[in-house]
Amino acid sequence: MTYISPRPHGRPERLVVVGNGMAGMKAIEETLERAPGRYAITVFGAEPRVNYNRIMLSPLLAGEKSFPEIVINDAGWYEANGIVLHQGDPVVKIDRERQVVRSRAGHEVSYDRLLLATGSSPIVIPVPGKDLEGVVSFRDVDDVERMLDAASAGGNAVVIGGGLLGLEAAVGLQARGMQVSVVHLAGWLMERQLDQAAGFLLQRELEGRGVTVLTEADTAEIVGTERVSAVRLKDGCTLPADLVVMAVGIRPNVDLARNAGLEVERGVVVDDFMTTSDPAILAVGECIQHRRQCYGLVAPLFEMAKICADRLAGIETNGYAGSITSTKLKVTGVDLFSAGEFQAGDDCEDIVFRDAARGIYKRLVIEDGRLKGAVLYGDTRDGAWYFQLMRTGEEIAGTRDTLIFGPAFAGAGAPANPSQAVAALGDDAEICGCNGVCKGRIVAAIQSEGLTTVDDVRRVTKASGSCGSCTGLVEGLLQAALGDGYEASEVKPVCPCTVHDHDTVRRLIRVGRLKSIPAVMQALEWRTPDGCHVCRPALNYYLLAAWPGEYVDHAASRFVNERMHANIQKDGTYSVVPRMWGGLTSPKELRAIADVAERYRIPTVKVTGGQRIDLLGVKKEDLAAVWADLNAAGMVSGHAYGKALRTVKTCVGSEWCRFGTQDSTAMGVALERLTWDSWTPHKVKMAVSGCPRNCAEATIKDFGVVATEGGWDLHVAGNGGIKVRPTDLLCKVKTPEEVEEHCGAFLQLYREEARYLERTAHWVERVGLDHVKARVVDDAEGRRALYRRFLESQRHAQDDPWADQTVRGTTRNEQPALLAAE
Amino acid sequence: MTEPLDWYEFGPVASIPRQSARTTRTDAGQIAVFRTVDDRIFAIPDRCPHRGGPLSEGIVHGHKVTCPLHNWVIDLATGNALGADDGCAGRIPVRIENGRIMLGLTRAKAEVPGD
Ligand code: SRM
Ligand SMILES: Cc1cc2nc3c(=O)[nH]c(=O)nc-3n(C[C@H](O)[C@H](O)[C@H](O)COP(=O)(O)OP(=O)(O)OC[C@H]3O[C@@H](n4cnc5c(N)ncnc54)[C@H](O)[C@@H]3O)c2cc1C
Ligand code: SF4
Ligand code: FES
């Protein structure tokens, strides 16, 4: 065994890395941890960008993440560690004699140690038409961009290959609005990870989402002249296609190594210490072959990276012994886990559990009294435990009968709950496969660094930071470690009906294209049949905001005030507040109000704090008539009952006031006309003052405008309620059009990002004013897009509920008198 | 108390949208008849045991309703307040016959109050 010892004269050794991907940079991270400063590192990457998390390309495609969110090490990291990065510049030659690599751009760099981490390339099946425009693979950010480009025009996508990548691509493209077909050669989906039964459940789930799945389907030709137009199958069937994604497998990138004369078979051959046939050259990742085995998942690559780092740091280890791998499909709402062997041989025995009603299927494969494989569909909570049993090769004879029910049962027979299940795991049990983090590491971090939230754990250990499917396990660990202390964490479920917090629910509604309350509850596994008074109104709002014009409002999920379009009082009567645009009224309106008050014997008429008139104590059965009379005088609902735009207070402004600098009244009316009837996470109040004396109290409003000599100051996130909070200055603008654009954009950002029942003040304090400025002020293009989305949503919203005939029915919900049965 | 129950027809099940309530007036006060998401029918007096809020205007979820005034949650099957709150709205027997809702009331209670 040769160990690398530090150079006697102390000059850092030169370490060159070929491949700026997941395995290579993981090996560097681990090396820097073990032997900081030992190496002067140069990295060549063929891709023109920093190191990112490749497995997150699926969420990137589906729109669940943005590129900055999937970057693992940004430019600052390279700089801080003195790493020279040549991005977009592949190495084309290794000169082993001189210990020099040469890049395409002509850089020559000498090395003492060379690390190959070139990953692999997608296999392209050699059918006619494979080079047509619109035929892509799914490997890097450029591929995703090509797919998004095609998806932006809608149309049909054909994904060739029903494995992990193909299915993630299919679901992602579907989420982007394409009609997707999956063409798969084998008899069922993901045949290398799933048995037939689980493959069938998965197929049914995807078909339920509108993806067409063709199995035993072999591609004959990709049809098209310049661009692809269809895919023809060997059975003669033709599928229209504007985009074809080939996802049929990967092949290790070995050309560079082969040309340098290294020992290469399917991959670059390495020993247990990740060393190639040249002792100065190591290799890790998908490009290698170890004990005749190649790998295509990150968990084994991370194990290799650690062994490689030990080697580079001169630490003695037992070396790498190969990995058992497990697979999860990163498709929101599909729980699928598979590990080990499950193509049962003659000496294997199977334990199968099915619950058709809940769509659960579990199969364990046992050989020689040990667990060899597991396929879990629909309920994957125990996956980590089974995986651990497989890796340790533990005897399971004693627990065989209850094994299928998971760890809680196998132990004391106590009922299963997630924190118990995770408590049953050993310290070296892997929790996060994506980042190779085991239970012991997380527990230690929780204890030594006083972590209390999933976000904390993510930040410190990276666990659950990638595909996120182990979030439940991480929560279980927090729960076990902190007990009641964990309840105080930041991530609060919307209500006891769900484990998800508001932000997650919103994100998954968009990504999963969930368009009804039952669909959300089904996909996100609500624990109650139809939610409760807390989650239903929130879901109703989120759906309304996500799918304007498409989602049909669900009256039974609204609080009585919003259902009745009036405010319930303590005696069961209602108050009615007609809109007075910008606080302006007229003799005609006042007369109509007076008539209504007399006609329906309304006991109290009051001027509100929002510059309009409240009619209090209206009987429920009179509501429809009161609205009709007010409508007849041209008045509409003031939404004084709703999580919606309330009032726009104004002062008299330049039209009358001796100090007024601008027409604040007209500006207020314009803003109210723009924004009325928009549903928002909480109520929204606005005001416009004609000069800095600020008679309309604009600086305690959600959106406040103060006129100046030169234009308008725009203020946001004020609150005059329970805790007074003055506004923050958003920006200064010149014209009324700019005021409207900023107002609409600000409201839309609030509508898209805030949690239900979060006023703008609390939202802005949470996300920071800088964030709001970046989106609404600095990014003009983004502002206009927000404004457009606001206008689009308003196009479907601006109907007066009082004038809407269907609403009138809501007041007539009394049955006629009871009839005695004969 | 020992007076026998008579059955009174309230109306068809279909007259109540799911997750909603309809009401009827009797001498003994307003009755709220609920239809749940799984099409079960329950009837209770339309008065919250807290401060008399109209339960028929609440959000119906599972076999429960949340009072619109202060969010007490009432169990529709028993009329009891759930959780930390204490009180009972009462309960009225219900039978479904050929898709029609029948309420079990004593004769005196079923009378419609004079207008
Ligand atoms: C009618 C009115 C009082 C009045 O007689 O003037 C009023 C009445 C109510 N306010 Fe208000 N607020 C009224 C102006 C205000 C104002 C002043 C303003 O809008 O300029 C504030 C402080 C400004 C602010 O909101 O930032 C105000 C802060 C609140 C709050 C505390 C909000 C907060 O975020 O802290 C609540 C409670 C809530 O919303 O949860 C509240 C809630 C209520 C409710 C809706 C309570 C309820 O749910 O029953 C009251 C309804 C009475 C009814 O049946 O009509 N009301 N309320 C005012 C109606 C204005 C309008 O024309 O729409
Ligand atoms: C869409 C998608 C989803 C996935 N999902 C999962 C998942 O859920 N779970 C899981 O475990 N795995 C998943 N994988 C697999 C996982 O991403 C890979 O196993 C992992 O990225 C391999 O790491 P690597 O460093 O070996 O290769 P890569 O990450 O591909 O890095 C190799 C890098 O080397 C560069 N390179 C190649 N040749 C040269 C050269 N001559 N000079 C310079 N640079 C060069 C390449 O451009 C590339 O950037 C997924 C992969 C994809 C594409
Ligand atoms: S203070 Fe300014 S804005 Fe208010 S009324 Fe007077 S002049 Fe007009
Ligand atoms: S009156 Fe029902 S909760 Fe108060």
Q: Which ligand is nearest to the CA of A726?
A: 1
Any ligand 4 atom below 6 A from CB of B70 = yes
Q: Does A559-642 match A124-248 at the fold level?
A: no
d(CA A764, CA A758) in angstroms, rounded, equals 10
In a domain, residue B78? The reply is yes
Three-state DSSP state, A198:
helix
The string over B63-88, giving b where at least 16 C-beta atoms fall within 10 Å of a residue's C-beta and e elsewhere, is bbbbbbbebbbbbbeebbbeeebeee
Q: Which residues of A touch B68 (CB under 8 A)?
A: 559-561, 568
Q: Which residues of A touch B53 (CB under 8 A)?
A: 572
Any ligand 1 atom below 6 A from CB of A682 = no
In a domain, residue B114? The reply is no
Q: Could you give the strand order of the β-sheet that contains A39-45, starting from the edge strand earlier in sequence?
A: A84-87, A39-45, A13-18, A113-116, A281-283
Q: Do A533 and B73 touch (CB under 8 A)?
A: yes
Q: Which of A536, A572, A817 sits opposite B59 (nearest CB)?
A: A536
Any ligand 1 atom below 6 A from CB of A612 = yes
A584 sits in which H/E element: none
Q: Which residues of B touch A817 (CB under 8 A)?
A: 24-25, 112
Q: Which ligand is nearest to the CA of A611?
A: 1
Residues of B with CB under 8 A from a CB of A: 6-11, 15, 17-26, 33, 36-38, 51-54, 56-62, 64, 66, 68-69, 71, 73, 97, 102-103, 105, 110, 112
**Residue in the structure block whose two tokens are 């999580």:** A643
Q: Which of B53, B66, B110 sits opposite A818 (nearest CB)?
A: B110
pLDDT digits (tens, 9 = 90+) for A16-66: 999 999 999 999 999 999 999 999 999 999 999 999 999 999 989 988 788
Dihedral sign computed on CA atoms, order A462, A463, A465, A466: positive
Residues of A with CB under 8 A from a CB of B: 528-533, 536-537, 555-561, 563-564, 568, 570, 572, 813-821
Residues present in chain B in total? 115
Q: State the total domains in chain B.
A: 1
Q: Which residue of A has its CA nearest to B54?
A: A572
- Centroid of ligand 4 to alpha carbon of B54 (angstroms): 8
pLDDT digits (tens, 9 = 90+) for B81-94: 987 778 899 999 99
Question: In the prediction, which pLDDT does A560 show?
Answer: 93
Question: In the prediction, which pLDDT does A543 show?
Answer: 97
A748 and A789 Cβ atoms separated by less than 8 Å? yes
Quote the distance between the C-alpha of residue A32 and its chain's center: 31
Task: For residue B84, give how far its alpha carbon lies from the nearest alpha carbon of chain A (Å).
Answer: 16
Question: Which portions of chain A are predicted below pLDDT 50?
Answer: 1-8, 411-416, 488-489, 822
What superfamily would CATH give domain A124-248?
Answer: FAD/NAD(P)-binding domain (3.50.50.60)
Question: In the prediction, which pLDDT does B80 show?
Answer: 93
Q: What is the pTM of this model?
A: 0.56
Looking at domain A13-120+252-313, which CATH architecture does it have?
3-Layer(bba) Sandwich (3.50)
Indicate the pairing of strand A120-122 with strand A238-240: unpaired
Looking at domain A643-809, which CATH architecture does it have?
2-Layer Sandwich (3.30)
d(CA A85, CA A105) in angstroms, rounded, equals 13
Question: In the prediction, which pLDDT does B29 show?
Answer: 87
Q: Do B61 and A531 touch (CB under 8 A)?
A: yes
Q: Which residue of A has its CA nearest to B57?
A: A560
- Centroid of ligand 1 to alpha carbon of A606 (angstroms): 13
Question: In the prediction, which pLDDT does A8 show?
Answer: 44
Q: Which residue of B has its CA nearest to A528?
A: B62
d(CA A679, CA A793) in angstroms, rounded, equals 10
Computed on alpha carbons and rounded to an integer, the radius of gyration of chain B in Å comes to 13
Q: Phi and psi at residue A512, in whole multiples of 5°?
A: -85, 5
In a domain, residue B1? The reply is no
Q: Do A815 and B11 touch (CB under 8 A)?
A: yes
Domain with residue B73: its CATH number is 2.102.10.10
Q: Do A560 and B58 touch (CB under 8 A)?
A: yes
If you write DSSP's letter for every residue of A403-430 in order, what string do you get?
A: GGG-HHHHTT-PPP-HHHHHHTS-TT-E
Q: Which of B10, B18, B51 sits opposite A815 (nearest CB)?
A: B10
Q: Which of A531, A559, A818 sits opposite B9 (nearest CB)?
A: A818
Residue B113 has pLDDT above 50, yes or no: no
Domain residue spans of chain A: 13-120+252-313, 124-248, 502-558, 559-642, 643-809
B10 and B112 Cβ atoms separated by less than 8 Å? no
Question: In the prediction, which pLDDT does A1 show?
Answer: 40
Question: In the prediction, which pLDDT does A152 show?
Answer: 87
Within 10 angstroms of residue A759's Cβ, the number of other Cβ atoms is: 24
d(CA A580, CA A395) in angstroms, rounded, equals 77
What superfamily would CATH give domain A559-642?
Answer: Sulfite Reductase Hemoprotein;Domain 2 (3.90.480.10)
Question: In the prediction, which pLDDT does A212 show?
Answer: 94
Q: What residues pair up with A336 in beta bridges, in sequence order?
A: A377
Question: In the prediction, which pLDDT does A260 show?
Answer: 97
